[in-house]
Chain A
Amino acid sequence: MEGLFNTYELSQLTTVGIGIIMALSLNWITGFCGQISLGHAAYMGIGAFTGAYLSKLGVDFILGTIAGMALAGLVGFITGLASLRVRHDFLAITTMGVVFLFVGIVNQQPWLGAEEGIAGIPDPGYGAFWFMVLTLAIALFVALFSVYLRRSWLGQAFKTIADDEDTARIVGIDVSRYKLVAFVMGTTVAGCAGSLYAHQIKIILAPDFGFIQSITYLSIVVFGGIGSVTGVILAAIFLTMMPLWFQFIGDYKLLFYGGLLFLMMRFAPGGVAGIASSVRDLWQKRSRHAGTANP
């Protein structure tokens, strides 16, 4: 089994898995619950730095990851509490602030390596293959959970909030509480992705979890189709692989993802999933027409 992939392929698959986890967790917040976060990478960074720091102290990888998730979720709780009660789109501004604060603060902390970041992060000891399997298994779990979540009453309540907050209140939904739940769930899972990333790459710098990275995840969600699980997974695979294939995308990340975000919002707000379903509708209409024309 372990000989199936070379080192490069293993690292690509792991990177894709982390991308899927990040995109799906942001999809809970932005897709399911309708709250725009421009700082999702900062919560990934909190998980990454916590996991890396604890690993260097000799703490077990799993425990360090759980601690990273808890801290990311806690910071998510605080940011959510501060912004979700205020106004509809206030979260976008707050999360943008969080992502700049994160980079600014971490860069000033000698115990987190300041601008040099944390290097030489110990290997969890599973080997590259099993680490990839673990990452993909977590991505699969997050995907299955997304499908379950959307069907549950919690997912339905999120849907009403994304649709119309005032009317959600009128059907008895505690809007601010539910938004906070979505945000804490998403940021906690971003923390997990962060610790996985740190232990894969072995060296982390604060700007790796900055605004550009946050926009990248947002454009993955928009590209895939806000709220669609399959669409977002496909977009995460495609858009995580692109920079690995084409060096120039890595060099012009903000231009590429920013442009993509703009184009999708302008021309295909339903994303790939939306395009797919309109094509399907068109196809059905065509075949119905063909059916009536030639009885």
Chain B
Amino acid sequence: MSPLLSVTRLEVRFGGVVAIGGVSFDVPQDALLGLIGPNGAGKTTAMRAITGVVRPDQGEITLSGERLTGLPTHRRVRLGLGLSQQLVRPFKAMTVEENVMIAAGYRKTKGPLGALTTLERESERDRAHELLTLVGIGHVAKASPTELPLGFLKRLEVARALALDPKLLLLDEPLAGLTSGEASALADTVVALNDGGLTIVLIEHNLSEVMRVCSHLVVLDNGRKIGDGAPQTVMADPAVRAAYLGEGADDAAA
């Protein structure tokens, strides 16, 4: 089966600094893929190249065979990318519910004229409630995001991304800043979504959760790919252990 997302020889430079130097990887249909690596490995840059925030110097990115490279972010979103950002950015002037509703109404906001002539938003409200309940924050639907702690906002990001009915959900450190209880609850939700047939790319620092939930790992280090495969196999690779856990990790483990 052809992969859902395909990244080929991706290269991103900031001035003279190579953030990503020729990375290729595939995200198979139905996978829960963990994109990991130490700080500065290029994970977030890779994610930003996929969403179109960063313009790659070289390389191709395709989603179900359609070329994403060169398209603006909103077009990529409409082709099936859902993004939950590392730094939470709710619309502050809207309630939690409205934040999800605006995403759920993506068909209605496709063009300005259609958007102007449409008022009905009950179906989006229902969808928003469904998703907020799914991520466990249904009870604060009417609250303002400015009143909520980080753990809630992280889940709001996920609900908002899901409201776009994405083919591929990109989660950029959804667990960072959460308590271990909150983190494992959200990780369980991610697994449940994947079991429901959603393909997910998870960028995460929380290695134990990554090892617990991911079916596949891609490891980056200094802008290069150093591992790609099943979690246990990848993490057993000495190169990955050295880069990810630091030199001498084997000694420590021994």
Residues of A within 8 A of B (CB): 148-149, 151-154, 156-157, 159-160, 162-164, 166-167, 169-175, 177-178, 181
Contact = CB atoms under 8 A, between A and B. Distances in A.
B117 interface: yes
A178 B112 contact: yes
Nearest to A151: B119
B115 A169 contact: no
Contacts of B121: 153
Interface residues of B, number: 37
Interface in B52-80: 53, 72-74, 77-78
Interface of B: 51, 53, 72-74, 77-78, 83, 85, 89-94, 98, 101-103, 105-106, 108-112, 114-119, 121, 160-161, 163-164
B108 A167 contact: no
A193 B225 CA distance: 61
Nearest to B82: A170
A14 B119 CA distance: 32
Given A159-B93, A164-B92, A172-B77, 6 more contacts: A152-B118, A159-B102, A160-B94, A170-B85, A172-B106, A173-B74
Contacts of A164: 89, 91-92
A169 B102 contact: no
16 contacts: A153-B114, A153-B115, A154-B109, A156-B109, A159-B102, A160-B94, A160-B102, A162-B93, A164-B89, A164-B91, A166-B89, A167-B90, A169-B77, A171-B163, A172-B78, A175-B74
Contacts of A162: 93
Most buried by B among A152, A157, A169, A172: A172
A152 B119 contact: yes
Contacts of B112: 154, 157, 177-178, 181
Nearest to A175: B74
Nearest to A34: B93
Nearest to A157: B109
Contact of B103 (A159, A163, A171, A174): A171
